[in-house]
Amino acid sequence: MLSLLDTLVKYGLIIFKNVRRNLLRTLLTSLGTMVLVLVITLIWSVLHFLDKAMADKASNFKVIVTERWQIPSRMPLAYASTLREGAATKPDDIRPKDSCTWQFYGATIDPVKRDRDFSMIYFAMQPEKILTMIDELEDLQGERRDALQKLVDRMQSQRNGVILGVSVLKRLKKQPGDRMQLTSFSHKGIDLEVEILGSPPEGTRHDTSCFMNADYFNAAFDDYKAKNKNQPHPMADKSLGLVWLRVDTKADFQKIAAQISDSPLYRNPAVKCEAASSAVATFLESLKDIFWGMRWLLAPAVLVTLSLVIANAISISVRERRMEIAVLKVLGFRPAHVLGLILGEAVLIGAISGLASASAAYYLINQVAGGINFPIAFFSKFFIPIDAFGWGLGIGTFTAFAGAIIPAWSARSVRVADVFSKVA
């Protein structure tokens, strides 16, 4: 055992010295590997998140209730109270663990230009549900959660308070404490004055999100009616966008879906109830060909390119070292030893470069840049998952091995007599 370990250490030292011998070529190969591993990491990070978003969970199900026949969904606000109970009317009916409503309010602070930079889409909802029903924000811990809890508490007591993502504040050139006069482009005549309370913690996908107190938004419809001779706003009876429900298991989801679909309360307009993952998949249906191309065309093409880069570098190295390889064979190195040395050099470069690339991507994108700004549907940002460390190491190792196998086999097959006859 000790002799085997000693042999491996000696071979490792030889491999390391060979890699150091032509630093320029090693660095160029490593740089090329890192760039291509970065490309793969970015592609797989987006696909990884979307796969998770569209995958059914075994427990802690989120359910979305929307209007059945219309996009965007516009349900009567009167549906909200019973839908949040899962249409439960009997003692043995299933009730959700948690729930909230979403109403959408589009507005601008520049009614003349209506430039995108001064426009916002608000989620009008129950403030306390920001911490329990909003993806990522519900998972916050420690000081980050405490900071958001303070904003939520203020929003509950100050109905005109809003929470805006950091990116929105920068775009509007505003800061916490500023007041804004909003002119609506989604609900004409429902113009609101709001005060910015703060932002969700940075480093989430909610840097571009805007949250408003649903009570304040709905009270504006009453004000409109009072100011317009008891005439209700045209959107007053269709302001509810969707209802979120949370249940324990898929079986509970199926029961609640049946309760809602069988209820006579939701006939005009009709509603549909689906798992959040199914809703996301439906929403992304129009992009499925692009995702297919990213997964099965672009990513494999990058992997092949990476293998060719490494193959080219190792081939050049082998051609330059034919004399050295012949001398090694004279000294007693077997063909398998030569094969192992060449493959070891390639794998060492590939593994270190791949891991370094993934590590740099994880730190720079997640911690420094605050995510990849690549809006897809309602996902505004993507982050590098912890799985990327395994991806980088695996991609670098596998492609290096695949790219080096032919040059290494060529080195293994070098004939001592042929090499020395040319020298003579």
Contact 97, 246 (CB under 8 A): yes
- Model confidence pLDDT, tens digit, residues 151-160: 999 999 999 9
The pLDDT score that the predictor gives to residue 249 is 87
Asked whether the whole model's pTM tops 0.75, one would answer yes
Helix (H) or strand (E) holding 322, with range, is: helix 322-330
Q: Quick check: 103 pLDDT over 90?
A: yes
Arithmetic mean of pLDDT over the chain: 88
Contact 273, 83 (CB under 8 A): no
The pLDDT score that the predictor gives to residue 417 is 67
* Strands 119-125 and 210-213, bridge-based pairing: parallel
What percent of the chain shows pLDDT beyond 70? 94
Measured between alpha carbons, how far is 295 from 290 in angstroms, rounded to an integer? 9
- Model confidence pLDDT, tens digit, residues 391-419: 999 999 999 999 999 998 888 887 766 66
User: How is the chain split into domains, by residue range?
Assistant: 2-53+287-423, 70-269
Q: How far from the centroid of its chain's Cα atoms is residue 182's Cα?
A: 31
Of the CA atoms within 13 Å of residue 377, those in its CB half-sphere come to 16
Instruction: Supply the DSSP string of 262-294, one letter for each residue.
Output: H-TTSBTTBEEEEEHHHHHHHHTGGGHHHHHHI
Range scoring the smallest mean pLDDT among 101-105, 219-223, 322-326 = 322-326
Q: Quick check: 18 pLDDT over 80?
A: no
Q: Which of 15-19, 245-249, 315-319 has the highest mean pLDDT?
A: 245-249
Contact 119, 108 (CB under 8 A): yes
The pLDDT score that the predictor gives to residue 59 is 67
Q: Please, which residues bridge with residue 66 across strands? A: 272
Angle between helices 388-412 and 335-363 (to 10 degrees): 160
User: Which residue would you say has higher pLDDT here, 74 or 377?
Assistant: 74
pLDDT band at 323 (very low <50, low <70, confident <90, very high): confident
The pLDDT score that the predictor gives to residue 149 is 96
Q: Which of 342, 341, 350, 327 is nearest to 400 (CA)?
A: 350
Show the tokens assigned to 184.
């609506």
Residue identified by tokens 């569209």 is 54
Angle between helices 335-363 and 322-330 (to 10 degrees): 130
